[in-house]
Structures are given as structure tokens and as C-alpha cells.
Amino acid sequence: MSEAVQTQRADKWLHHVRVFKTRSLATQACTKGNVTLDDQPVKPARDLRAGDVIEVVRGDLRLRLRVTAFAPRRLSAPQVSEFYENLTPQEWIEKAAELRRQKELETPHEHEMVTKPNKQQLRQLREWQEQNHSM
């Protein structure tokens, strides 16, 4: 009936193999130059072929992927490994993890900045105010 697909648009493939959550995010990444093939930026409509090795920059993480096959629609997570080979060097992954840990330490979580103080924090505030007013 239907023959195997030999090529696929870069933005579609990146979305189908779950590199990006939406196709529009994949398109934006291509437009910004965050997706490269042979050190050349990839346009969203560029046809990828089996065997192409692309590099994708997603935040602090940089991925190197070899295209092995094409899917007609977005895949479930367990199926993704059949459609690309991950060639990302381990040091890139470790560097991204370290940068992520540093950011977590530097910036407080959003819920810590927005919420009201709990009982313990209120008690500490009252004690601090009493100490400062008595002086």
C-alpha cells in the first residue's frame, strides 16, 4: 500500500521524535539556527534523509542525532529510539546537567518567592521583630 518515506521536513521529524514538544517550537529552533547539519543551519522545510547527523541546541543541552527512519506521526516515548541514533558525547550531557544544577542553586523556586510564610517562618519573623524593637 504505502511505501516507506525516504525524506521528511526537519521540523516535522524533530517534533515526531520528541526532541521538541510542539512543531512550532521545532520550527522556531530551526529558524534561530539552533539546528545544524554539517555545521550549516537547517531551515524548517529542509528535507532530512536517513543517515544525516544533526546537532540540536535546546537550552543548555546540545544533542547530536543520526536520522535512521521517519515516522508518519508523533511517536510514543518508547518507540523514539527506533528512529534516531543518539551520538551526543557524554561530556555535553554532563556539562548541561552541571549548568542546570548551578541554575537551581542560584535562583529560588517560583513557589518559594510567591507563597505566604508558613507557621515556622512567621514565628521566626515575630522573634526577629521583637529583638529589633527592644533595642
pLDDT tens for residues 17-34? Answer: 999 999 999 999 999 999
Nearest in space to 67 (alpha carbons), one of 27, 35, 28:
35
**Is 46 a residue whose pLDDT tops 80?**
yes
Residue 2 in any domain: the answer is no
- Is position 1 within any domain? no
Is residue 29 in some structural domain? yes
Bridging pattern class, strands 47-49 and 7-9: antiparallel
CATH code, 55:
3.10.290.10
Over range 74-85, report the average pLDDT: 92
Residue 109 has pLDDT above 90, yes or no: no
Tally of structural domains, the chain: 1
* Contact of 20 with 26, CB cutoff 8 Å: yes
Report whether pLDDT(2) > 50: no
Host domain of residue 21: 7-134
Q: Is 102 helix (H, G, I), strand (E, B) or coil?
A: helix
Q: Does residue 110 surpass a pLDDT of 80?
A: no
DSSP secondary structure string for all residues of 36-97: EETTEE--TTPEEETT-EEEEEETTEEEEEEE----SSPPPGGGGGGTEEE---HHHHHHHH
3-class SS at 35?
strand
Angstrom CA distances, 75 to 50, 81, 113, stand at 17, 10, 37
Residue 73 pLDDT > 50, yes or no? yes
When pLDDT is cut at 50, 70 and 90, the band that residue 115 belongs to is confident
